[in-house]
Amino acid sequence: MAGQRPQQEVSAWRPRIPGVVEVFHAHFTAYAYPMHVHDVWTLLIVDDGAVRYDLDRHRHGTPHDTVTLLPPHVPHNGSAATSRGFRKRVLYLDGTRLGEDLVGAAVDRPDLRDPVLRRRVGHLHTALARPGDELEAESRLTLIGERLRDHLRRAVHPAVRSPDPALARRLRELLDASVVQGIGLEEAARTLRAHPAHLVRAFSGAYGIAPHQYLTSRRVERARRLLLDGVPAGEVAVAAGFFDQSHLTRHFRRSVGVTPGRYARKSSVR
């Protein structure tokens, strides 16, 4: 719009999640990307506005409900499709998440209209922005990768996945032994010799809760016991396995209904 200065707001970081090269959030009103390539996969969602781009000499677009997956080493550009510009969130993923055998399918069909996938990618970005929630982010990314592969392989009917209670129990035991120090999904998968996606599905199917939710609930319970023992709230976070005080407070309030400090004060008068 005339009289308004172009906006360029960006933030980027590298999370501690295997396979994620970079997280990139941006808001542009008048910027256009020239033709360029990446050596990694680009997983893109647009939260406001829309992007038009050319990939392999074909024009594409990203309406709000679309998840866009651009393959490595294939030239593309990008610009705002409306005068309002666009706000986007991007993940750059290395080849451990998606193999080169899927590049051709991604070139043919880079824009995926899948509300469930779109919602999962949004939740993943939220988890990636919160230090201490690495297991949640890794679990969400694993299931997103599985769904992307289903799309690119044109799996109309995903394979039936049978329950595996024995594997779920072994993962629960592993989580119980790792409440404070934590454990990554890839490490758990190597230890239990199972595919990460199967591990998450087996556990969620057996217990009705995702592995990261189970671990967080165990940490909250540990924090409650420490508070009741008189440990100062400021010391409880690390002792219970949380990244920091704000990480503890967010999950504690969600689970218990009050902050750790208030919980400690109310408990001490009894």
Dihedral angle, C-alpha 5, 122, 139, 21, nearest 10 °: -20
**pLDDT on residue 6:** 62
pLDDT category of residue 258 using cuts at 50, 70 and 90 = confident
Residue pair 164/244 in contact (Cβ under 8 Å)? The answer is no
What's the CA gap between 10 and 121, in Å, rounded? 19
Q: Tokens 């999950």 appear where?
A: 251
Cα 107 → chain centroid: 24
**pLDDT on residue 270:** 40
10 Å Cβ neighbour count for 36? Answer: 9
Return the structure tokens found at 242: 């949380």
Paired residues of 91 in beta bridges: 23, 43
Return the structure tokens found at 39: 């050596």
Return the structure tokens found at 72: 């490595």
> Burial level of 73, CB count in 10 A (0-12/13-18/19+)?
exposed
What's the CA gap between 86 and 155, in Å, rounded? 31
Produce one character per residue of 216-242: b if its CB has 16 or more CB atoms within 10 Å, e if not. bebbbebbbebbeeeeebeebbeebbb
Say whether 92 sits in a helix, a strand or coil. strand
10 Å Cβ neighbour count for 155? Answer: 11
**pLDDT on residue 160:** 53
Q: What is the pLDDT of residues 2-59, one digit of tens each?
A: 445 666 788 899 998 999 999 999 888 877 887 778 889 999 999 988 888 888 767 7
Q: What is the pLDDT of residues 93-150, one digit of tens each?
A: 999 999 889 999 999 889 999 999 999 999 999 999 999 999 999 999 999 999 999 9
pTM, whole model, 2 decimals? 0.82
Q: What is the pLDDT of residues 185-195, one digit of tens each?
A: 999 999 999 99
Q: Tokens 């392999």 appear where?
A: 56
Closest CA relative to residue 35, chosen from 73, 85, 90: 73
Q: Tokens 């920091």 appear where?
A: 244
Return the structure tokens found at 203: 């556990």
Return the structure tokens found at 57: 């000499």
